[in-house]
Amino acid sequence: MSNSIKEKNPRIITSPEYKHSDFEVRSLDTHCVNASEKEVPLWYNLKYMAAGILFGAVLVKSEVISWFRIQEMFRLESFHMYGVIGTAVVVGAISVFLIKKLKIKTIRGEEIDFQDKKYNKGQVIGGLIFGLGWAITGACPGPLFAQLGTGATVVAVTILSAIAGTWVYGKLRDKLPN
């Protein structure tokens, strides 16, 4: 990264200070929150692909990818999605509690760190915008990828459009209320 970019944009921080920089800078944008200090070969990421395969299969078999289920959720016609998300939050929260309590480390012996998110207007404005889109597409980003995998190839258009939406957000970011 060139210095000129860095000067213009103090939010951008290059490693190694990256890891220890202000979390807000990184977490607001959800990038490099996860940056590991250790360099690993690319194939090492296959374990995440394996986790993704499990996740994708569950999304399909539990009908979370179903456009019908999402409509039913928002029309209060089915408990299914509330059950899925509610159970996931409880299981996730117990897991996070245990990881913190027992100081569990990663399989490679690294500390697991948690950082607090900061409040901003985007959580409300962006959240509402995402909600509007979620009910139309019947899928949030995870299920969009799973839908594509099931053979609903036209969803590729939805994903490309979501990428475009992200790009436009990045372009307009400084002009939007934060």
Nearer to another protein, 5 or 20 (CB): 5
Residue 65 near residue 147, CB atoms below 8 Å: yes
Binding mask 132-151 for another protein (x = CB under 8 A): xxxxxxxxxxx-xxxxxxxx
Site for another protein in 91-130 (CB under 8 A): 91-93, 95-96, 98-99, 104, 106-108, 110-114, 116-120, 122-130
Distances (CA, A) of 36 to 4, 108, 162: 26, 11, 27
CB of 73 to another protein, least distance (A): 7
Could you tell me how many residues of this chain bind another protein (CB under 8 A)? 135
CB of 61 to another protein, least distance (A): 5
Q: DSSP character for 79? A: S
Helix, strand, coil abundance in the chain, percent, nearest 5:
65, 0, 35
d(C-alpha 160, C-alpha 156), whole Å: 6
Site for another protein in 11-70 (CB under 8 A): 11-12, 14-15, 18, 27-36, 42, 45-70
